[in-house]
Each structure stands twice: as C-alpha cells, then as structure tokens.
Chains A and B, each alone.
Chain A
Amino acid sequence: MTYQPQVDFGTPASNEEDMVSLTIDGRAISVAAGTSVLRAAAEQGTSIPKLCATDSVKSFGSCRLCLVEIEGRRGTPASCTTPVEPGMVVRTQTPHLAKLRKGVMELYISDHPLDCLTCGANGDCELQDQAGAVGLRDVRYAVQADHLGQAKDHSNPYFDFDPSKCIACSRCIRACDEVQGTLALTMAGRGFDSKISAGLASDNFLGSECVSCGACVQACPTATLIEKKVVEVGTPDRSVVTTCAYCGVGCTFRAELRGEQVVRMVPYKEGKANRGHSCVKGRFAWGYAQHQERILKPMIRAKISDPWREVEWDEALSYAASELKRISDTYGRLALGGITSSRCTNEETFLVQKLVRAGFGNNNVDTCARVCHSPTGYGLKTTFGTSAGTQDFDSIEACDVILIIGANPTDGHPVFASRMKRRLRAGAKLIVIDPRRTDIVRSPHIEADYHLPLRPGTNVAVLTAMAHVIVTEGLADEAFIRARCDWDEYQLWAEFVSDKRNAPETLEPVTMVPALDLRAAARLFASEPNGAIYYGLGVTEHSQGSSTVMAIANLAMATGNIGRRGVGVNPLRGQNNVQGACDMGSFPHELSGYRHISDDATRALFETDWGVSLDPEPGLRIPSMLDGAVDGVFKALYCQGEDILQSDPDTKHVSAGLAAMECVIVHDLFLNETANYAHIFLPGSTFLEKNGTFTNAERRIQPVRKVMTPLNGLEDWEVTQRLANAMGLGWTYTHPREIMDEIARLTPTFAGVSFDRLDAEGSLQWPVNDAAPNGSPIMHIDGFVRGKGKFVVTDYVPTDEKTGPRFPLLLTTGRILSHYNVGAQTRRTENVVWHVEDLLEIHPIDAEDRGVQSGDWVKLASRSGETTLRATVTDRVAPGVVYTTFHHPATQANVVTTEFSDWATNCPEYKVTAVQIMPSNGPTDWQADYETLSTRARRIEAASAL
C-alpha cells in the first residue's frame, strides 16, 4: 500500500467500559470514560496540533500545542491531559488558539536547524507537519543562544542521535520508561540546559544501558533520533504489514520500503502480540536478508569433499529427486527423512511433512522443536489435553503474581518482557526460579520477591516442594479441583507431594534452594488471586523436561490458576513458529492437530485427501535419524531451515551422522554448518520474500506477507513443491492460501482459518472452529480439552549426568538479547557489536580456584568433547555453575553437551552438562580441524565464462 504514517491518537486508549458523550467542534461523539480530549478528537477525525503527546505513552502536557477551549472553563487547557466529561463542549480551532499555537511553534522553530530539505526526516517529521498545521511563516526571535551545532552521537549501529534537533518533549524518555521499561534515558540539566542523555553524561548510546528496542526512535517527533537507514536511503514510499521472524512473541511490523528496498521495520500498533513495541532484533536486525553471504543459486556436489557447483533449479531438483529415489530403491523407504523448521511458515512446514509422508512413504519427519519445546507438547497434552499454552499475552495485565521458571524473557522474549515489567511496576509480585540471576530478578523499579537459584537439573524437585507447601498448608483450591479435575488423581498426587520426602527442608540439599524462601514463594503463589506461570527452555531441556512441564500444570491446577485472564501456563517459545511447526504435524508420531499417526480415522482422512496410503507407525526422531545414519540404515535427509550441526547436542555425533549419509539436502539462506556435510543446497527465502503464516506462543496465527521479490526466485513452499513434483507427486498449489485451506480442511483446530479471515481479523488464535469461530485467546475456560484436568505424579529422578572429580562444574546454556538461536541471521547484522563471541560465565570462587580472570581463554571440557572460549567472571551464576551461549559456530558449545535427553521426548539435556574449566592458550584440536573442514566444505567452483 502507498505509504501513510500510522495513525497517532495522541494518548493511549482508555480501558474503561463506561461511555461519555461530548461535543467537539460542533460534532457529537461518544468515547470511553478516561479518554483524553485529544484522543477523542482524533477518534472523530479532528486533528489537534501536538508535539509532546503520542499514543504509546501517557500524556505529559509540556508542549502547550494541543490547547483547546472548553465551554464553562477558564483558559486553554492542554487536550492531552484533560479527560472527557459528559456534556463537555470543546472547540479545537479558534483564532485565539491559532495565535497561541503559532506562538508556541515559533519558539520551537527559533531553536531548530532549518535544514528541512536535507534532513533525513524531511516529509516524515511531526515538527515540520505541525509548523505547517499552525501556519508558521516566520520566526521573529533574534538568535542569541541556541542548541544548534551540538555533536551527533553515531555510536548506535542502527540510529543516530542529533541533540541539535531535540525539542525536549521527553517522548523518547517516556517511551524508554513506559513502553520498554529499561529507563536508560533521562533529561540531564535544567531549563535551557535540558538535554536528553543516555545513561551518564559520559555515556553515548552504545555505551549506555539502552537495549536498542527502537521505542525512542519511534516516539521522536523530529529527526533527533532517526534510523541510519532512513538517512541513507530516504523516507519510505510504501508499506506492508507482516510478522517478525525472530522469537515466539510474533511481533507485527510494518515493513516500510522505498521500491524493493526495506527502509525500516516499524512495530505495528494494531499488532495484538506486541501492541506497537519491538526489540533490537525485529526492529533493526533484518539486514541479513540482503547479506553478501546469502546463497541465491542452487548447488550440488557428488561428495562433500568436492567444491559446490552452481546449477539451475531444474537440475538441482531433478538431481535431488533422483538421489532420493536411488536411496529409497537401494536401502528402502525408511532410509529417508526430513526436518521441518520453526523458522519457516506453517504452510512450508506442512508441505515438508506431507512430502515425507506422502512422497518418502514414511513418518521420518521431525522438527527443531524436538530440541526445545517437545516436552511442552507432551506435558500439556497429558495434563490439559492440548499441546499449547493457555493464555494470550494480554492476560498478563490481570496477573497478580508471576512465576518465571527457566526463562530469561528480557533476553529471549524482550517485547513480552516489557509488558511483564510494566505489570510488575504496577504492583504484581514476582518469583523467579533460575540458576542464574537473570536481568528480571532485579532491574529498574523491579525486584523479584523471591529468586530461587536452584541447582541445574532439580526443577521437578523444586516444583514438587512448592506443591508440598501448598497442599500441606491447606492452600490448594479444592473447589476448582473438584469441579475441573479428576479428584481421585488429585488425591493420589496430593498424597505424593505431601510426603515428607518432598518437603522443602528434605530437598534443600538437592536443590540448593533455602527451604524458607521456597515455602514463602509457594505461599505467595498460592495466595494471590491470579497467578501465572511463564517458562522456557530452562524447563524443557532436561532429562525430566516433560515431568517439569507436568509439574507446572499440576501447580496451576492445584491453585485454580487456569481458565481466565491473569493466570495460566505459558510456554515462551524460542523461535517464531515453534507452535506452528508442532501444530502442522512435524513430529514423527502425529499428524496436524496432534493426532496420533496410529489413529485409523485420522489417517484415513489424510489418505483420502492426499490419495496415498500412510504408514501407521511412528517415524524417526532427529536423534534416531542420526543414530540410524551412524549405524548405516538412514541415508538421506531433507533439512529445511534448520542447522542441526550447530544447534543439536553432541556435535561430534551429529557430524558423524551427517557424514555417513549419502544425500543431505540443505534448504537454507546461508551455507550453514550442516551444509558442510550437504550434497545439495537449495537456497531459501527470508520472511520478507514470501507469503504464509506463523503461529506464536499464544497460538496466534498471523500473516506473513511478501514485501519484496525472493532474491533466489522462489518462495520456500515453491521449492518444496517442485521437489515433490520432481518425485512425481503432482502438487498444484498456486499460493500458500491454498495450503492453509488444506490445513483447515484436515485439522479441526484450524477449521475456521483462512487467509481471507486472517486479512480481515489481523490474526486468529486457535482453536478456530464452530465452537470458537473467532478463535480462543484463553483456553480451558469451562473445562479442559481432555475433560477433567489430570494431575500427574512427578517423582524427582536425578539426571544421569553427574559431576565428579574430572568434571566438577555444571554447564548450562542460554542466549542473549542481541542474538537469535545459532546466530545465522543476527551474526550477519550489526548486532555483533553487542556480542562478538560466546563467553563463559564463571563464579569468582570457581575462577579463583582455577586462576581464571575475565577475558582469559579457557578450555571447557566434558565427557563429550572440549572447546575454548573466553571467560567472564560474574556472580550472576552460583558457585559450581558455569554458563555460555551457543550463537557462534567458532565456539561450538554443543561439542560439549551430551546425548542425554528428556525421558518422554528425547529433548536434549542442554541445561546440565558436567564440565571442567582450565586456562587455555587457544582453540582445541577439534575447533582447528573443524575450521579447516568448514573452509574446505564451503568452496564454490568458479562459474564458467560461457
């Protein structure tokens, strides 16, 4: 669509239900009580000049531009700070107001550089617009003192700060405070000396606590804070609303373009997941889409020791099809498999699993959710009947106590973390269960009531001990349990948790959590009206990941915290489409909508629709594919949008498996680490280059819209279709909407979903069907999907991964704000300025014991392997625990992690590895050898001159 700025109503919408009628400029209007006069006018289409007001932050009343006249009142009140009242008669345009506004604007402009024609914001500047709106034609004031000519701050890689253009409206400060919740900005000085400052006066933006979310840039009404890309390219001339491809929050953005070039990604105010906010990744880190390392031509090679040879699509796909057929004919159909990606769309994922089931003739399809949230699927389906979280993000606004376990939302899910922090600043209580002191434990105006720094691997013990307190102290919600859950199962569970062996005091030596703190936290959680649990991979990536998810569900049911706003069990999904990839039948044991492959009726539905017979047996999980490859029975893999060599545990085993296969097809944006072992490379398209849908952590299905032509010529679903057709499947989709129609036809929870409805509604939360035609923001309101909620006894079973004299420390892994997953995208953006390498966090006591100081190279060794990286000494981790990220392939953190996994789902136990740390001089032999292999494997044959 042609570029139009997003409508700014001046002040936030009111949440009041009562309506108020008033008259503005002779026109009657009815608005919610609590609405400002400024907003009421905007809602009826009357634009009152303004500068310090914007609808993302509370009104401030400083610019004196939005003055109005109100009958019966003296003076000219600021409309932004004046709430509507019944019968109010407002005039927004009078000669007196015009004179006042022109005078105010004249003062502003007298201290503003008049360089509009060469300013980056020319044509997209509120100050410029308002000068025009009030009819300012000259400035009478002689220049005696001004703020012009101040040094610009270019330190941030994505935006500039030019204090000479600042009008001191404080919108940036208020956005940082109210929207982002970082409070990095302040107004230094007083009066004429007032100046926006990032942190201390000595800081620049890059060196400050600013997290580059972009809220200040979006709020700025001038060019004081402006995207470097706008300065470089110019203002946009069109926009497309789409969905971010980073984390599972699923922010809605307006991609704003000039022609085919993206100028900026601006959070969309109507986005129901992000409500107009963004983080540094979604807002700014999209440059990877046009990075020089993107592969845009298909490539093939006979052996992985050969250089790649660029070929046309037809040759690549017919070669791939012939190899898959050869291997199937030679070794049998079970020698083939595929991996879908949580980074790809629902439609792409659905096609990959269909290709495997209908084309390969087996169920050997798995997804990267295997290594992150597969225990969520198992645990919540067992207890509630649905493999998904129970709430929408808006639910947090009604929450009284938030329990975060195994999640680091300010880094992993920053936009939702900002909403969480807003609720906490408003008075909600906070319990954090995490081995590390994550940022949310203590940040500006927020301090956790209880931080339980448990020993890694003891989640189940901690949650069962909390349940012990709740049951034995009579804090359980018996009325809820009797009405909504299986009472007999509850009694068995209550008896189990009440046993003295599950008392906090008994388990303290195991969990290392002080019993008094744990008791107090349990009482707090059970006693507040609305308690919500948010969790992440610190729950799932354990040998008892599924048990922990069920223990969380037990706790929610026992306290009656299910089925309404402000409560619930909320898995924070790591990647953008983890929920969707799981929904689409990516697991080897189930079809879309989580229906088991052995169910004859479900299978018959698909067999009729697809015209093939389906194998009723579960297929191979990713670890089983690799085991099978090493054992010589699994030979071919189609891997879309996933880098298993870097992301999966026990790297040496993964590489051995990949090396043993005869045909590895990698379909991705870049020559990733897995591609080192590939024979066929199919170039992928970014989220900016294709149509489809993503489903976020709140089950919200959202449109992904093509904003630019695919650089490789094809959207990913087209590549999969052409591969399927090269194998003779005869697919005829012309647009992803037709794939969604098929998903809806075959999946009861998606029955009411279509692209037309998504375009009309913006998004829909499944289930969307006859029972819930407009979707289901909150689940299990009147009853659980499975009928009665199921309490599951979750006995604590210690992991087999033990510390000892050789490996006395426990390694746990995670991620940071500026990078995403294996870093394939974010490492190819300016985000590297914040994190150029993975670091090992080690407690000062452990560091001292080993003679390690911050910045030193250290060897990190486990029974699986060893790597080297630099240390950072910090008490964020407890003694005995070390921590690192896995964003950089040079570090190869997963060389160290083991093959141990969750008992129910095989989700790897990334979070608990026994290790030793020692000073080191440089890379290990493995790292050196791998770098050699990696360089060699990425060679591309020179193109022919003809």
Chain B
Amino acid sequence: MSTRAKIVRMINQIADNVQNEVDPASATAEHIRLFWDPRMRALLLEDETDGLNETAARARAQLRGLFSNFAL
C-alpha cells in the first residue's frame, strides 16, 4: 500500500472513530494537527484524489485553511 493510500485510509479511520463528537470534522482535523507530522499532512493536503469519506473531506478542507500560511 502506498503512503498516500495509507493516509487516506488513516484519515477515514479517524473520522469514523470520532463520529459522535459534536463536530466530527473539526475533531478529525484537530487530531491530525496534533499528531501527524508535516509530511503526512502535506500528502493529505496536496491529494486531490477521491477516497475520503464525508467527514474526512471536510476535515481536509479545514486543515487546508489552517495550514495555508505554513510551509509544509
């Protein structure tokens, strides 16, 4: 499995496990902010391919906003 494919699976997995949070997308994005290294985040953010579930896709959008000013 490629690193990119793993990252898609991992964010989907996070999203599945925080579905009961008040804001699952924000919880997913916050988890990634706290625990993922910049390269993983960069691979996630540059990836335009599909495969993300709905929560994960919204989390990625939030992360794009959060890290738009940072060099990845």
The reply to whether B3 and A800 contact each other, CB–CB distance below 8 Å, is no
Contact, CB under 8 Å: B3 / A903: no
Q: Contact between B6 and A899 (Cβ–Cβ < 8 Å)?
A: yes
Stretch among A2-10, A36-44, A627-635 lining the B interface: A627-635
Q: Indicate whether A596 reaches chain B with its CB closer than 8 angstroms.
A: yes
Given contacts A795-B20, A797-B17, A903 and B10 within 8 Å (CB-CB)? yes
Residues of B within 8 A of A905 (CB): 35
A-contacting residues, B5-37, CB 8 Å:
6, 9-10, 13-14, 16-17, 19-21, 31, 34-37
Chain A hits for B19, CB < 8 A: 795
Judge whether A795 and B17 touch: CB under 8 Å: yes
Give the residues in chain B near A627, CB-CB below 8 Å: 3, 6
| Contact, CB under 8 Å: B37 / A596 | no
User: Which interface class (under 10, 10 to 19, 20 to 34, 35 or more) fits B?
Assistant: 20 to 34
- Say whether B37 contacts A903, CB under 8 Å: no
Are the CB atoms of B39 and A618 closer together than 8 Å?
no
Q: A795-B20, A904-B17 are in contact. Are A631 and B9 (CB under 8 A)?
A: no
Total interface residues on A, using CB and 8 Å?
Answer: 34
The answer on a CB contact under 8 Å between B34 and A618 is: yes
CB distance from B13 to the nearest CB of A (A): 4
**Residue among B16, B20, B21, B39 making CB contact with A628, cutoff 8 Å:** B39
Chain B residues with Cβ below 8 Å from A618 are 34-37
> Would you list the 4 A-B pairs with minimal beta carbon distance, nearest first?
A793-B20, A903-B13, A627-B3, A903-B17
A633-B37 Cα distance, complex, nearest whole Å: 13
Contacts of B17 in A (CB 8 A): 544, 546-547, 795, 797, 903-904
Q: Which of these, B6, B9, B39, contacts A620 with CB under 8 Å?
A: B39
**In the complex, chain B residues 32-57 whose Cβ is within 8 Å of any chain A Cβ:** 34-40
Residues from chain B with Cβ under 8 Å of A487 in the complex: none
* 29 residue pairs bridging A and B, Cβ less than 8 Å apart: A334-B38, A334-B39, A363-B37, A492-B20, A496-B20, A546-B17, A588-B37, A589-B35, A596-B34, A617-B37, A617-B38, A618-B35, A618-B37, A619-B37, A624-B37, A624-B40, A627-B3, A627-B6, A631-B3, A633-B39, A793-B21, A795-B20, A797-B16, A901-B10, A903-B13, A903-B14, A904-B17, A904-B35, A906-B10
In the bound complex, CA of A627 to CA of B16 (Å): 23
Residues of A within 8 A of B37 (CB): 363-364, 588, 617-621, 624
The answer to whether the Cβ of A543 comes within 8 Å of any Cβ in the partner chain is yes
Are the C-beta atoms of B34 and A624 separated by less than 8 Å? no
Q: Report chain A residues within 8 Å CB of B39.
A: 334, 620, 624, 628, 633
- Closest chain A residue, CB of each to CB of B32: A618
Q: Is the interface of B mostly helix, strand, loop or mixed?
A: helix
Chain B residues with Cβ below 8 Å from A621 are: 37
B contact residues around A620 at 8 Å (CB): 37, 39
A residues apposed to B, CB below 8 Å: 334, 363-364, 492, 496, 543-544, 546-547, 588-589, 596, 598, 617-621, 624, 627-628, 630-631, 633, 793, 795, 797, 800, 899, 901, 903-906
CB distance from B23 to the nearest CB of A (A): 14
Using CB atoms, name the residue of chain B closest to A363.
B37
The residue on B at minimum CB distance from A618 is: B37
User: Within the assembled complex, what's the spacing in Å between the Cα atoms of A618 and B33?
Assistant: 9
A823 to B16, CA, bound (A): 37
How near does chain A come to B43, taking the closest CB pair, in angstroms?
9
Residues of A contacting B9 in the complex (Cβ-Cβ under 8 angstroms): 800
Chain B residues lying within 8 Å of A547, measured Cβ to Cβ, are 17
- Tell me how far the C-beta of A109 lies from the nearest C-beta in chain B, rounded to whole angstroms: 70
Given contacts A598-B34, A797-B17, A903-B16, 19 further A-B contacts (CB under 8 A): A334-B38, A334-B39, A363-B37, A492-B20, A546-B17, A618-B34, A618-B35, A618-B37, A620-B37, A627-B3, A628-B3, A628-B39, A631-B3, A793-B20, A793-B21, A795-B19, A797-B13, A903-B17, A904-B14
How far apart are B66's CB and chain A's nearest CB, in angstroms?
12
In whole angstroms, how far apart are the Cα atoms of A617 and B16 in the complex? 25
Chain B residues whose C-beta falls within 8 Å of the C-beta of A793 in the assembled complex = 20-21
Contact in complex: A904, B31 (CB < 8 Å): yes
Query: How far, in whole Å, are A543 and B3 apart by their CA atoms in the complex?
Result: 18
Answer whether A899 and B1 are a contact pair too, CB < 8 Å, given A618-B36, A624-B39, A800-B9.
yes
